Structure 1
Amino acid sequence: MSISCVSADAGNHRFSDSWGKQGLTLNRQGTDGISLNFSIQEFGLTSREINGQVMTGIEFSESFLQNEEGAPDLPGFGRYIAIPKGATAVVEITNMRSERYTNIEMAPAPRIPLDTDQGPLHFEKNSEIYTRDAFYPAKPVTLGDFSQIRGVDVAMLGVTPFQYNPVTKELIVYRDMEISVRFEGGSRQFGEDKYRNRWWDPIMEDAIMNFGSLPVIDYDKRVSAATRGTGYEYLIIVPNDDIFYQWADSIKKFRTEEGIYTGIVKLSEIGANVNAAMLETYVNNAYNTWDTPPVAILLLGDYGQATANNNSIISPIYDNYCVSDNILADVSGNHMPDIIFARITAQNADQLASMIGRFLKYERRPPTNPSFYANPITALGWQTERWFQICSETVGGFWKNVLGKTPVRINEIYQGTPGNSWSSAQNTSTVVGVFGPNGLGYIPASPASMGGWSGGNATMINNALNSGSFMLMHRDHGMETGWGEPSYTNSNISSLTNTDLCFILSINCLTGKYNWGSESFTEKFHRYTYMGQPAGALGLIAASEVSYSFVNDTYVWGMMDNMWPNFMPQYGSTPESRGVLPAFGNAAGKYFLRQSSWPYNTGNKEVTYNLFHHHGDAFLRVCTEVPQTIAATYEPTIFENETNFTITASPNSLVCLTSNGVILGTGVTGFVTTISITIPPMSAGDRIKVTITRPNCNRYEGWVDVIPMVTSAIAGEDMAVCEGTEPRLNGAAVNYTSLLWATNGTGTFSDATILDPIYSPSAE
């Protein structure tokens, strides 16, 4: 352990002899604990003018968000740690090096504003902290926020590698730390296996530092319905009107055939006049007691009161503030989703046909026009004191510089003048350091070099959508009926002619307020048709009330990294493409946000968890490249009672075999593209449907006929033998389980039950 004192010069401070790479690195993991290294290779001290006084700020690449309002604005972050069942986790710094800086006037963190706030950021020191002769925070490493993610006990490991004493004006920088987390007692078993599944694992792998300690599960062994017991992987809750059930059944058939065990429940099966509390109790019970807890739940119906169960489904209200299906998704009580929730706000048969038909058609045969995939759209309103422009352009820059797209930029100015600085907000230098030319290279150092910040309008948005685009992200202000800048509202949607559908990320305020008395922007976009065909949006993510700045942007970056794991390669895992599933990205963005600058700003984050909703099917997969054809080779017939099916298919394909709507077996190809899938014995005359899904590919569907088992055997070619010799049969047989040779003579076989016995003629 070492401590040294240095001068506090402004600018970047670098340590060339760090113990490890920048940030937190996992060195060892096991059932007894983990060991980690934390190092700072570089951080910045910057000058900030706060309320007329020049103060010091810190820029550090591992932390996007500021500290708690009014506290010294020290960067920090958290990462989830999985803990064995029943164990106690104990954290300890086993070794460290630090530097002490003197005569520092540390700036306080500002209040995180609502997106609708128009004034400058508000700074006010927390007098309780700033008048105390003590270092803040008390410890650089803490362990807290004990909770669960899909049945796995977790805790948040928080690292704030800076401590500040506001009375003595001293700043301690923990440049290197070796950290140990011991697991004392417990079962040495991580989590409860029934909550694990192939769709949640990517979220958990990104969020949990020691995910590799969790048991590896063969999800294909769970397939047999006979062994599933109660519950469904995908649950669709519908109003009591039969038309909703009929359309839900179309989704059930579609998802079941691709290997997602799907069920439907009417509100009448939950109770009479189902209110929010009753619905939450039902969901909690399903998650806690079913043998197969829901992976995802779709609410198929618009918002409505408990007295309108025939054609709508109610939702809870968060903190008397916003309508929130996230309350239903949160079973463990920590405001985080334990179940993926989605809603399709259809009100009648026509809307059901449009809103469900659009994604079924899209997933079977996605658009094929190359320009549809080449030109994603970013639309933003510039506001100098916010990160709207940074958030939008980092996404567009990733699409351009990593995916090779040509984004269509449609921008307008809300407030301020674009110049050499991306924003006047705190931590902007950190964000630019991560995403700018010295980091991932998604944005330039100066926004002035990009241009195109003004002039965007509704006509340009409609032209871009009508020309074709797989995704659009808007970042600015919003209202119940549309976007602020560039202005685009419900009335403008009526000019769309795009039957190649775009997924919309509406990152703003109020556009997803599905409990509004009239048709909200999200509902209009999602229900829209052109000449009787689905048009407008394939699906949307939007907020149901006024949202907070900065935390929204951080949420977006986490969501993007789930959909494209190489968006932030320094965070979590970077597996091969697992497909763009926005509903799962919505949940992942919330987990990323919770870890950012933990344990600070919990209230603003909590609002964000409850605001943002996915509108569309929960397992909707967005195609981001020209769809390819899946190659598959297998026998067109299979004999009755066979229990193995062999197939060769494109790498990273999910193969599902069904018969009469029942899943028989699943398998996943990888580097090895030929797999054998175990199935139950089938009867002659049955048909097996083969469905194969793979990111950015057309859905494959084929059939296999089950034929009778026909047994035949031959003893070999005729032969002439001399007296005294004993010939050996050259036998062959097919489709048999046992055999018994017989002769019409009086000789004998050495073993009549094998293919090639010796025949001994009799003396007669």
Structure 2
Amino acid sequence: MKQKSTLFILLAILFSFTLQAQEVQYTLISQTTSEVVIRVDFPNYYETTPVEVNGEILYKLAMGNAYPTEQLGAPELLKSTTSIIVPEGVQPTISVLEANFSLVSNFNLAPSKGRLYRDIDPSTVPYVKGDQYLVNGFMGDNQGVIGTPYQLRDFTGVTVTVHPFAYNPVQKELKVYQSLILKISYSSENSVVAKKNNVVFDQIYSRHFLNYKEYSNSKYNPLTEEGELLIITPATFVTALQPLKEWKIKSGIPTTIVPTSIAGSTAAAIKTYITNYYNANNLAYVIIVGDHTQFPYFTLSGQTADNYFTEIAGSDNYPDILLGKISAENVDQVTVQVNKFIGYDQGLFTQTHHASFCGIASSEGPGDNNEYDYQHIRTINNLLQTFTYTSGYEFFDGSQGGLDASGAPNATMVANALNTGIGVINYCGHGDWNLFVSSNFTNTHITQLVNYEKLPFIFSVACQNGNYVNKLCFAEVWLRAISGGKPTGAVGALMSTINQPWNPPMCAQDEFARVLTDATPAFTKRTLGGISFGGIMKMLDVYSDASTARTWVLFGDPTMMVRTTQGTNITASHMNQVAVGATSIVISSPIDGAKVTLTHNSQIIAQGVISNGTATLNLPTTLVQFDTVHVVLTKFNHNPYQGFFEVNTINQPYLVYSSHQFNNSQGTAETAPETGKNNKITLVIDNIGMLPSTNVRCALRSSDPYVTITDSVEQIATIAASSSTTFTNGFTVKFANNVPFGHSASFTFVITDDLESRVFSFDQRVLAPFPSSGNIRIVDGGNSALDYGETATIMIPIENLGDASAITGYTKIESLRNYLSFFRELNPVNTLVANTIQDYGFLVSVKPSVNTPRVDLIQLTYKTGGYTYVRTYEVGIAGAITSGVDDQEVTSLKIYPNPTSDYCSFTIPENITSEKLSYAIFDMYGKLIIQNKITENQVVVDLTTTAAGVYMIQIFDGTTPISQNKIIRK
């Protein structure tokens, strides 16, 4: 129950690497039109927990990404599951191509208690051995079980289930698998095509299906557009929902509001309407509006099951759309929630709390992964800290150490934390329709909150928190909360309408955290719906728990991009006015990856993505004089840009930049220019005015230090009205031979005619090498260390980490303390293409004068073109102990994670106790980027303001550098 400081983050990062190493891992080996081959690697580490059953000590098993089989009375084995895409209509078969395992004798495996629900404590349920213990054979040895095919939108998927262990209860032998290679075979002439793909489901597919990348790259061109949002509501709420519709459209999501008078008056009729709308459109999201008396709901087996609306394609339980609920009884309650969603989306609210987490849990269990509730939540908290979360709270029943204070938490503690500011809450424990049992935080406490604008989103594994029928449930109070006219409570909550089981929702909650913290480059969008239903799909893969999936209701806006840190403002520039008939507009912004949306009259007319500082969007021909077009740029953890331009008839010449292309010196198009090369540039300009432009002059300018323009001007006598001209290879640019890796050069075109001059700017990424070197090793035919009088070879990997070739160069190697003699100091290095490593050997001998153990410093200088790289290594002679602070040893100063996207951390070795420590980060050309004092052994580095590229971090004792390492910023 203590707030976490940023100094704890390294432990969490170390945890994440350990966790990944201890999980079941799946690798796609190959895929053809008739088979998929996958490899499964099981971690060497697995956990055994003793339990006493009738005086006998038995053991429970646990392993990352492996889950209990829940077969009552049977030995509790584990299973792990992945999904793959197969052609529609096939019945796949599976075969084991290779299996590696070992046997453990005299192992007493505990029986399963079956599937338990959260209205009971698992510790009160006894272990009972069933008749399965009489079977003299290995249970769980059916490796590679294919599940029933299911439909996830356009894709047919099947689960592949494996077992890390098999067990013979009579012989008490445990078979422990290390790896498997499986072949899934099928025969089909059907192709696999995703007709309804969009950004959010593209990312869901990429996590859910092991082989999705193969289809997305080779079978179709993935769409970059957003899916559509359908809002179904009683007619009385339509006007209150209009601002949400307008904002969603402006931010790039086509949105339609349909009253229930059209969609239907029963749940079945509304589902039919949603299905028909899905079949006719690229529907991704649905929001249903109203409490149980305003909006019809499904009751399946006596359970309120809103997510049944999502089951559209196929006859399975996998959600094909992302569903959210705005529960409201009147217009005011709708307005409160709409204002929350818009304010959060637009970055209008306070944002200092977004990087703070809160975990609340009981001390009961164990459940999924053999974790007690508090252990489960602590695992999630640790994972969050490997991402952008830098502070947080733990409120656990009992005294669990860490951030949790002794004793049981209470509602006041939780309220104080919320009022201070929390970005995300994960709860796991008992619950009811009006409270978290752990902490006894109730509906009343929510209404008393003063967390103005500091709104978290909540994932709750608990009973009944979302049971909204005939009562004002916990989730509804969180979303409706307002105090003094200001929004309080929460901005979203995933909560159940039923008594949840113990294991399955814990599996889903783990996946929520994994999706939220997914740092892969392609994972650019994190919507509340994508996170929630991504976790539910994982749970369906593992546990096939349709009841939990259908009844876990998302209260909130499923399209909302969550925030995990304070947002960065997006800046952009563009023309304020375009002519009638203009065919395109250029939007410039330094925020690469930002999505650009143009809207007119509440319709999306163009979309694009900022790349290399610009996006060129085509304009429709339907725009007329005096039209206003809105421009919105959005990106994860950024505050959107909102602007506009006007369309007007221009009764004069009006020249605008249209496009440009970098070509090589022979005039052939290139994807990007390269350091040290000459390039020609082709320019296209348009006259969008109603009169011809005369005496047109185009000048290319740049103040970039790495750019020399040798041919800067092109001229033409006339450009006719409403036409364009192309200056093919009209400009010549030379890039210096030492352009830093990751550098973008800035250019402007000044276009002048008899009437006026106009300036257009763009940035261009320049490809460049990044010379570096790896760890040294001694090759001597003996102990891999230098001894008195010995001659050996020092091997050093020479690296090019850049995106252009490092041309033929040389290395110089020298002994700085004169204990070693190199047979040749200068050595040629061949051309290294981008992102390659080549080992080079340097023959060396220990000088005869060295007769006591010594540590020498070897300085390597690598010269390639205009780049010079220098690194110093420590080398021990005759067993001399190195200091541990040369740049190689503090490469064991391990940077986590590396590569990184926003934050990284390192630890100062305990043997360095100076009070004058500091660190500095330089770009590859030596410019100082960041400098700070070091006051703790564990250090967190904030790289959110730096551009993508490779940097060098140096540790200083006073003014003396004592270590260094590379940091790769994605």
What band does the TM-score fall into relative to the shorter chain? Answer: 0.7 to 0.9
Q: 2:331 aligns with which of 349, 354, 358?
A: 349
Q: Give the C-alpha shift of residue 79 in structure 1.
A: 0.6
CA drift at 1:277: 2.1
> Of the candidates 219, 240, 243, which is equivalent to residue 235 of structure 2?
240
1:123 aligns with 2:117: no
Please say if residues 557 and 589 of structure 1, whose CA atoms lie closer than 8 Å, have aligned partners that are also in contact.
yes
Task: Report the alpha carbon displacement of residue 589 of structure 1 after superposing the two structures with TM.
Answer: 0.7
**What pairs up with 1:288-303 in 2 under 5 angstroms?**
289-290=279-280, 292-303=281-292
Match of 1:585 in 2: 531
2:354 equivalent among 362, 367, 373: 373
Q: Is the 8 A contact 1:499 1:533 kept in 2?
A: yes
The 1:97/1:395 distance shift into structure 2, 3 A limit, reads closer
Q: Is the 8 A contact 1:142 1:158 kept in 2?
A: yes
User: Which position in structure 2 is the counterpart of 1:284?
Assistant: 275
| 1:607 counterpart = 2:554 | no
Q: Is the 8 A contact 1:133 1:166 kept in 2?
A: yes
| TM-score of the two chains, using structure 1 as the length reference | 0.78
State the Cα distance separating 1:509 from its structure 2 match: 1.3
* 3-state SS in 1 of match to 2:379: helix
The answer to whether 1:547 aligns with 2:532 is no
Task: State whether structure 2 residue 690 is matched by structure 1 residue 710.
Answer: yes
Alignment of 1:503-652 (within 5 A): 503-515=457-469, 517-566=470-519, 574-575=520-521, 578-596=524-542, 601-602=543-544, 605-649=545-589, 650-652=591-593
Q: Distance in 2 between matches of 1:497 and 1:122?
A: 45
Contact 1:366 1:623 in 2 (8 A): no
Give, in whole Å, the separation in 2 of the partners of 1:362 and 1:222: 22
Q: Aligned equivalents of 1:264 and 1:45: distance in 2?
A: 52
- Identify, as 1 or 2, the structure richer in helix: 1
What does residue 396 of structure 2 align with?
Answer: 411
Deviation at 1:462, TM superposition (A): 1.7
Q: Secondary structure at the match of 2:92?
A: strand
CA offsets 1:691-733 (integer angstroms, 9 cap, x no match):
111111112111111232322244799xxxxxxxxxxx96222
Q: How does 1:172-321 map to 2 (within 5 A)?
A: 172-187=175-190, 189-191=191-193, 193-216=194-217, 233-241=228-236, 244-271=237-264, 274-287=265-278, 289-290=279-280, 292-304=281-293, 312-320=294-302
Partner of 1:675: 615
Q: Which residue is 1:435 aligned to? A: none
- In structure 2, the CA distance between the partners of 1:162 and 1:362, relative to structure 1 (3 Å rule), is closer
CA distance 1:39–1:355, change in 2 (3 Å):
closer
**Separation in structure 2 between the aligned mates of residue 559 and residue 45 of structure 1, nearest angstrom:** 24
Partner SS, residue 212 of structure 1: helix
* Aligned residue among 55, 69, 73 for 1:52: 55
Which residue in the other structure is 2:945 paired with? none
Q: What is the one-letter code of the residue matched to 1:391? A: H
Alignment partners' CA distance in 1, 2:381 and 2:102: 39
Say whether the 8 Å CA contact 1:190–1:213 is kept in structure 2.
Answer: no
The residue aligned with 2:450 is 497
Shift of 1:624: 1.9
CA distance in 2, matches of 1:45, 1:535: 43
Does structure 2 retain, via aligned residues, the 8 Å contact 1:563–1:579? no
Distance 1:212 1:374 in 2: 31
**Higher share of residues assigned strand:** 2
Distance 2:325 2:246 in 1: 18
| Structure 1 residues 39 and 580: CA distance shift in structure 2, 3 A | closer
2:198·2:225 contact (CA, 8 Å) conserved in 1? no
Distance 2:266 2:386 in 1: 48
Q: 1:465: Cα distance to partner?
A: 1.6
- The DSSP-based 3-state class of the residue aligned with 1:200 is helix
* Residue pair 2:29, 2:39 contacting (<8 A) in 1 also: yes
Between 1:67-76 and 1:213-222, the stretch displaced more is 213-222
Structure 1 residues 474 and 218: alpha-carbon distance in aligned structure 2, compared to 1, 3 A threshold: same
Structure 2: 5+ residue runs without aligned partners?
Answer: 1-21, 650-688, 698-714, 726-970
2: CA distance, partners of 1:248 / 1:28: 49
Residue identity opposite 1:677 in structure 2: L
Answer whether contact 2:393 2:404 (CA < 8 A) is retained. Answer: no
Report the Cα distance in structure 1 between the residues aligned to 2:584 and 2:33, rounded to whole angstroms.
Answer: 36
* Other-structure match for 2:719: 733
How many corresponding residue pairs?
637
Per-residue CA deviations over 1:39-74 (Å, capped at 9, x if unaligned) read 334144734423432234433333143443322222
Q: Is the 8 A contact 2:26 2:41 kept in 1?
A: yes
Query: 1:509 corresponds to which letter in structure 2?
Result: C
1:93 aligns with 2:79: no
Matched-pair contact (CA < 8 Å) for 2:383–2:517: no
Return the letter of the residue paired with 1:248. L
Q: Please report how far the alpha carbon of residue 648 of structure 1 lies from its aligned counterpart in structure 2 after TM superposition.
A: 2.2
Residue 362 (structure 2) pairs with residue 358 (structure 1): no
Distance 1:30 1:687, change over 3 A: farther
Give the residue type in structure 2 aligned to 1:249. Answer: Q
Measured in 1, the distance between the counterparts of 2:462 and 2:215 equals 37
| 1:97 to 1:84, Cα distance in 2 relative to 1, 3 A | same
Question: Relative to 1, partners in 2 of residues 1:207 and 1:51: Cα closer, same or farther, differing over 3 Å?
Answer: farther
Determine which of 358, 366, 383 is the counterpart of 1:398. 383
Q: How far does residue 334 in structure 1 lie from its aligned partner after superposition?
A: 2.0
Give, as a single letter, the amino acid of the residue that structure 2 aligns with 1:342: G
Cα separation, 2, equivalents of 1:540 and 1:165: 44
Corresponding residue to 2:150 among 147, 152, 162? 147
The answer for the alignment partner of 1:664 in structure 2 is 605
Q: In the alignment, which of 315, 322, 331 is matched to residue 333 of structure 1?
A: 315
Determine helix, strand or coil for the equivalent of 2:68.
Answer: coil
Contact 1:87 1:186 in 2 (8 A): no
Query: CA offsets, 1:655-693, max 9 Å, x none?
Result: 1011111110111235x3322222311223222110111
Distance 1:72 1:493, change over 3 A: same
User: Structure 1 residue 619: deviation in Å?
Assistant: 0.8
Amino acid at match of 1:68: Q
Residues in 1 aligned to 2:424 and 2:716: alpha-carbon distance in whole angstroms: 66
- Cα deviation for residue 281 of structure 1 reads 2.5
Asked whether 1:697 is paired with 2:638, we answer: yes
CA contact 1:22–1:42 (8 Å) conserved in 2: no
8 Å CA contact retained: 2:524, 2:636? yes
Deviation at 1:734, TM superposition (A): 4.8
- In the aligned structure 2, how far is the partner of 1:738 from the partner of 1:179? 58
CA distance in 2, matches of 1:451, 1:410: 6
Q: What's the CA shift for 1:218?
A: 5.5
